[in-house]
Structures are given as structure tokens and as C-alpha cells.
Structure 1
Amino acid sequence: MCNLYSMTATVDEIRRVFGSFEGDRTNMPAFGDIYPAKPAPVLRTEGATLKLEVMEWGFPGPAAAKGRPVTNVRNLASPFWRSALEKPERRCIVPVSRFCEWTAEPDPETKRKRKVWFGLHEHDEPLFAFAGIWRPGDERSYFAFLTCEPNQSVGAVHPKAMPVMLRPADVPTWLSSERVTACELAVPFSDAEMRRIET
């Protein structure tokens, strides 16, 4: 599962890719390493308006999760996610510059698993989005994002799943369609449009 990503685009870049929105944060900082339970920017709809907000990554976990935040949505039929998926107003998109998967085996020298980053090709728009859902809380709002079967690029590192990545043209479908149509976007992203980012 993905438990690390970054979002380093400016507010102007987010607007250019995903359209105009309310909640303009001209001084929003870059979010270099975003881990579960950390804040991150999210775009959601309120009526016909797109709004930019900062939410905490991970729904408060059920007892079965021993209190850990639930960050990834894999089973779209699960009752835990069904109510949010049914309501377009509870769906969101999570702007992303790149995301990380960890190698299955530790590095022979460091004895630690290595980070492998993925993003779009340099000649493409570097900013994309995860398909997410959100929920309000007493003091803050929370979000999680969908995962699906991995493509070959991600599967070579993490064979179980990858985040559901959206192109800008997919965003209206995700944010406004009925559940079945929206969930049809939960498919592996094209290998041809991705690159492995060596750091």
C-alpha cells in the first residue's frame, strides 16, 4: 500500500491543472513527504464549487485496525467505505507530484527497505491526482484514497496494489457520477504514461 507521497506544486499549478476553486491559499507550502496522519491539500466539491482544503491523511481506524488511520481504500464494496462512495459530495481528489512504494526486500548494504518513487513522464503534466474520499470530523476533516491492481511499473516493486491515479479529464466523472460509473476509474494507470523516479 502507498504510505508516502509528495505534493510540491503551487496553488497556481493546481488551478491550472484542475480548474478554478475556492479556498485559495497563495502561501500554501510544499508538502515534501506526506505520511499517514499528516496534513495534505485536497480538492472537494460543495454544490457546484470546487474547494481546496487541507485535511489529515487517514480515516480514524476501526477497532479492527487497532486505532491506526485507514489510508487506502481497496475493497470498494466494504460497508466501511460504501456510504462515502455513494455520495459524490464525499468524494475528493488528492493532488500529487509523486508517490512512493517500498521495496519488498531490504537493501543488502543498509539492511533497510528502499524507497522507489513514481510519477508522470517529464514531458507530461507533472501533477496528477489520486481518487479520494473524505469525511468531516470534530476538529478536522480526513481523507483516504482508492487503490487497485498495480500496473507493471509499480507491480515490479509492490505487487499487491497501487493508488488509483486520475488524469484531469477523469476528475468530473469521479466527483459527480453515480457510484458504479465513478468506481470504474479504479483501474491501473497506463505504464506508458508513468516513470520511475530515481533519487
Structure 2
Amino acid sequence: MCHAYSITTNLEALRRLRFTFDIAVNIGNLPPQTGIYPDMLAPIIRNAPGGYRELVKVRWGMPSSSRALYLAAKERAKKLIEREGRSISPDEFDEMVRLEPDRGTHNVRNTDSGHWKRWLRPEFRCIVPFTSFAEFSSAIGPNGKKRGNTWFAYDADRPLGWFAGIYAPQWTSVRKTSEGLISTDLFAFLTTEPNDVVASANPDSMPVILTTPEEIETWLTAPWEEAKALQRPLPPSALRVVSVGPKEDPEPVPDQSSLF
């Protein structure tokens, strides 16, 4: 699964889309983000209430399933019982489930799952700008160490691209124990089976990438029965490896170009 990406382009490149969008206050001047990881804020363009579109920074990581949180709380309760040598009441366990920390699910693959279906309608879809993305590889490189991040982009200039994403507005959960219960907007992007280039680092998946203005419009507006056809890998010729190893991909985009 894609566990990191970068966006180093500017607002002008994003404005080259064929539709207009409002810009949220938290965008600022859109400084480069050379290493975006789960639970960080990152820009998306979303279908916003009121029929307009908005460029806004949102926290990466959609809500995990209730079953996943229940099982995590159950394991935590088991350790508590063993450590303190006491039982816990049903009400105490329910509270543990409610407050179970959820760092979020940052890639969405099984769109047949009832957990994800609620957010597949157009009003919860978004597009996520990127200039490169990373898949982690445990394979040993020539230096005898794990290869680590393998960064992929359209080419060495890292032109702007778009992931197909979904978002959850004002979801209430515990993201970090230190924060406690909060309500915040969340997003993630879809994945699919990898093409041959991405499979060199991750044989299981790659992000769903939209390659034309028409595909972007379909993703943001079409019924799911039509939009779901976009959950497919790109041809191998569409991507290349641009860096191996670093946690961030700081290479500049010389002409701030866009695939479009």
C-alpha cells in the first residue's frame, strides 16, 4: 500500500484544472510537502456542501472499521486484566471501544465493503494532488540494507498527478491518546492491483490515479456504477522510479508542469 507521497507543485498548477474551486484558509501559499505520511494534513479538492468545490488541507486516514477498533480494544482490555488482575465491566469495555485510538486507514481497496460504501457517493469524493508517491520495500539493496521507500512519478520532473480519494467530514474519534476525542475532516485514496513498475516494490497494490480531466470529472460526479471503473492500475509505461531510499522526495518540479 502507498504509505507516503509528496506534493511540491504550486497553486497555479492546480488552477489549470477545467473547473474552479474555492481555497480554504488553511491552504496558505501551499508550501511544498516532500514527505506526507498518515495522519498528516495534506491538500485535497473535494465536493463541498452547497454544490461548490474546495481546496482544503485535511488529515490523511479515513476511519477504521468498527470491527477493527473493537478487536483492538478487546486486546487492550485483555492486557489490562492481566496487568491489574481484575475484571472489567461491560460499561468500562464499551468506553474503551469508544476511546480506542484510531490512526486511520490511509488506503481504500475493498470498495464492496459496507464500511466504505457510505463514502462512495459523489458528495464524499475528492481528488488528491501528488507529484510522487512511495511504496516501502524490505528487499535488500546493493548496500546490504533494506531498499526502504521506492518513489514513483510520471517522470523525473515530477509533474502534477491526482489520486482518486474519498473523505469523511467531521468524524469524531480519538486519533492520538494525547489529543483525546476530537472531530475533524479525514481523507484517503483508493488503491488497486499494481502495474509491473510499482510491483517491483509492492506486489499487492498501487494508488488509483486519474490521468485526464474527463476522468477527474467522472470521479467527482458520476454514479458509483460508472466511477468504479476508474479503480484500475495505470499502464507500466505511465510511471517510473525516481528515487530509492529516502523518507522524503525533495526533488523540485522545475517548470511546475501538470500532466494536463
CA distance in 1, matches of 2:186, 2:60: 6
Question: Does 2:123 align with 1:79?
Answer: no
Does the C-alpha gap of structure 1 residues 131 and 152 become closer, same or farther in structure 2, counting only changes over 3 Å? Answer: same
Figure out how many residues of one structure are paired with residues of the other and give that number. Answer: 197
Residue in structure 2 matched with residue 180 of structure 1 by the alignment: 225
Residue in structure 2 matched with residue 40 of structure 1 by the alignment: 42
CA distance in 1, matches of 2:40, 2:30: 15
1:52 aligned residue (52, 55, 78): 55
Residue in structure 1 matched with residue 136 of structure 2 by the alignment: 102
> How far does residue 104 in structure 1 lie from its aligned partner after superposition?
3.2
1:194 aligned residue (231, 239, 260): 239
> Would the aligned equivalents of 2:137 and 2:146 in 1 still touch at CA under 8 Å?
no
Residue in structure 2 matched with residue 135 of structure 1 by the alignment: 168
> How far does residue 18 in structure 1 lie from its aligned partner after superposition?
5.7
CA distance in 1, matches of 2:18, 2:105: 26
> Would the aligned equivalents of 1:11 and 1:26 in 2 still touch at CA under 8 Å?
no
Question: Does 2:16 align with 1:13?
Answer: no
**Gapped runs of 5+ residues in structure 2?**
73-101, 173-182, 245-260
Structure having the higher Rg: 2
> Would the aligned equivalents of 1:135 and 1:143 in 2 still touch at CA under 8 Å?
yes
> Would the aligned equivalents of 2:4 and 2:37 in 1 still touch at CA under 8 Å?
yes
> How far does residue 195 in structure 1 lie from its aligned partner after superposition?
1.5
Question: Does 2:117 align with 1:114?
Answer: no
> Would the aligned equivalents of 1:17 and 1:127 in 2 still touch at CA under 8 Å?
no
1:171 aligned residue (200, 212, 216): 216
CA distance in 1, matches of 2:137, 2:42: 24
> How far does residue 173 in structure 1 lie from its aligned partner after superposition?
0.3
Identity %: 36
The superposition leaves residues 7-49 of structure 1 with CA deviations (integer Å, 9 ceiling, x where unpaired) of 1111111111464210164512111110000000000123542
1:145 aligned residue (167, 177, 189): 189
Question: Does 2:190 align with 1:156?
Answer: no
Q: SS of the counterpart of 2:118?
A: helix
> Would the aligned equivalents of 1:73 and 1:146 in 2 still touch at CA under 8 Å?
yes
**Gapped runs of 5+ residues in structure 1?**
none
Q: SS of the counterpart of 2:22?
A: coil
> How far does residue 163 in structure 1 lie from its aligned partner after superposition?
0.4
Q: Segments of 4+ in structure 1 off by > 3 A?
A: 106-113
> Would the aligned equivalents of 1:107 and 1:114 in 2 still touch at CA under 8 Å?
no
> Would the aligned equivalents of 2:59 and 2:185 in 1 still touch at CA under 8 Å?
yes
Q: CA RMSD in A?
A: 2.0
> Would the aligned equivalents of 1:17 and 1:168 in 2 still touch at CA under 8 Å?
no
CA distance in 2, matches of 1:159, 1:193: 17
Residue in structure 1 matched with residue 91 of structure 2 by the alignment: none
